[in-house]
Each structure stands twice: as C-alpha cells, then as structure tokens.
Amino acid sequence: MKCFQHVADIGDLKAALDEALEVKKNRFAYQHLGKNKTLLMVFFNSSLRTRLSTQKAAMNLGMNVIVLDVNQGAWKLETERGVVMDGDKSEHLLEAIPVMGCYCDLIGVRSFARFNDKQEDYEERIFEQFKQYSGRPVFAMETATVHPLQAFADLITIEEHKTCPRPKVVMTWAPHCKPLPQAVPNSFSEWMCATGYDFVIACPEGMELDERFTHGATITHNQDEALQGADFVYAKNWSAYRDPNYGKIINRDMSWTVSAQKMALTRNAHFMHCLPVRRNLVVTDDVIESPRSLVVPEAANREISAEVVIKRMLESM
C-alpha cells in the first residue's frame, strides 16, 4: 500500500477489520517492521487525536517519529505555481516536499479545505503534490475532502458494538457556529457505503454531500424519520458543498441538535462523534455523557486504525 486516502486503498474490509482486532490484542507485536524507519507527520492544521494516535501507532511499530508543524517553526510555504514569491512565503512546496522525503520512510499529511476555491479543495492539490514529489508512501491524516483514519476507526468501533449483522447507521447533520469541511462526513459515508450496513444520511435541504461519497446511502431531509430504529447515530456538522454556497453556513436550525428526545426515536442507539464537539450545539450533555456514547472508545480506536495502515505500508516497502 503506497497511498491511503480512500476506502478502496484498504482493500478487503473484513480482512482489514480482522487485522485491526489482531493488532488491538497486541499492539507491539510488529515492532520489527518499523525498526530504523522514520515517520514524518506534516501538519498544516491543528490536531489532537490525529497527532497523538498516529504518533503512538508508529511508536508501537518501533518507528522513529518526526512531527512538523508547517505554520509554527517552519518557513511559510507557497503551494501554487506561477506565483511571484515576494510576500511572506519563503519556500515553495515543490522544493520542501522532496527535501522532507529525504529524511523519512513514510509521510502522513494533514491539510484542511481552505474554502477559497472548491476545485482546488476537491482536486486535493496539496496532498497530491506529496504523493507525486515526496518519493515516499503517503497517508491522509485528514485532507481537504477526506479523513480515512477516522472513518476506519469508526468502522472498527461499530463492529465491536453492533448486535446484528446489518445495523442501521444514521449520520445526521447538526448545527455549528463556524463553517466546517466535508472531510469527515465524506469519508464516513464512503466507508459506510462499502460495508453493506443500512446507512442513512439525514441533512437539511441544500446540505447534501458530493455524490461520489454518498452513492449507495439513503438520503433524507427528515431527521426524525431517519432516526427511527437506528442502532448507531453519528452526529457531524459540515458546511455547504453545493455551489454557490460552497464552504458556507446556510442553516443554523437548532432543532437538528442531537438530544435525548432525538435519541429516544432510535433503537437504544449508540451515539458517535469524531471529536472535538461543541456541546449543546451538536449534541446535548446528557447524550454525550450517557452510557450509550462511544466517543471515547471511538477516539481510542484511532490508534488502531493508524497502526494497521502504517503496518501495511511498512510491509509493502
């Protein structure tokens, strides 16, 4: 595996899940794979779970880890060709990337959508340049459009807690105070559609995601209807994808907040969220603190999803 960005990159999902459970039983069983190998984690944006879980996963595998915060302690990077670099950006990404590749064996990249140009975001220009010019295997630690490590961890969590072969999983939009990328819901949808689960997306009109990620899902604008009989409720906010509102907040309807009343419509469902979460905006205190909340086990499984991905990349070297 030279790149990890989409669900297709992981191959057979059952095999990947079996491997995840094996790794979880003994996280240090494969340290020989990472001996004298170095992971470079490049952050263009902030992180808590991704940084900690991915670094821990690499250490479990015996790797050395270098963490680079591009916006703190490094030269500001230009990302576009043809720009006269007479501003505050001292180095171009096209020189920086191959230099980074000289110092490591694997690269993880985190770079959010900028919302300045939809085409630029959805072409994944920064991540694609790492793939093209680094000379190293590259994996996504959340990009402009996807967050596969999160989606893989979500899938592991659902598999560990489901009580029937084909659970009903509902991803519901929730209100937020700032425009958020579509990366997490895109990947969650892409991965859930690949499972064969009964997967439903509930969102207000105008908040539909890119159909490339939602093909196979049931999409409804009625949240209460979607929640009926749900086994898992995944709450997430995202900004508008459709033009001319790309990257904007076009709905602040607080009736979409996931509350105890909403959860009562389900089949005693588990609550899920990728974190960080705005309490009493996305979800109420009583729901996220309830015994049916999986937000902490879900976050813990980020270590496992990252370890499986890094392990496979090391094995393919």
pLDDT in tens, 28-73: 999 999 999 999 999 999 999 999 999 999 999 999 999 999 878 7
Instruction: Determine the Cα–Cα distance for residues 295 and 288; give it in Å rounded to an integer.
Output: 8
Tell me which H or E stretch contains 43: strand 38-43
Neighbours of 221 (CB within 10 A): 15
| pLDDT tens string 191-225 | 999 999 999 999 999 999 999 999 999 999 999 99
Q: Does residue 74 have a pLDDT over 80?
A: no
Instruction: Determine the Cα–Cα distance for residues 105 and 263; give it in Å rounded to an integer.
Output: 45
User: Under DSSP, is residue 67 helix (H, G, I), strand (E, B) or coil?
Assistant: strand
Q: How much is the pLDDT for 83?
A: 82
Instruction: Determine the Cα–Cα distance for residues 163 and 5; give it in Å rounded to an integer.
Output: 29
Cis, bond preceding 276 (omega within 30 deg of 0):
yes
Q: Does residue 186 have a pLDDT over 90?
A: yes
In the DSSP assignment, the letter for residue 261 is H
Instruction: Determine the Cα–Cα distance for residues 116 and 212; give it in Å rounded to an integer.
Output: 21
| pLDDT tens string 82-107 | 888 887 777 888 899 999 999 999 99
Predicted TM-score (pTM) of this structure: 0.95
User: Under DSSP, is residue 140 helix (H, G, I), strand (E, B) or coil?
Assistant: strand
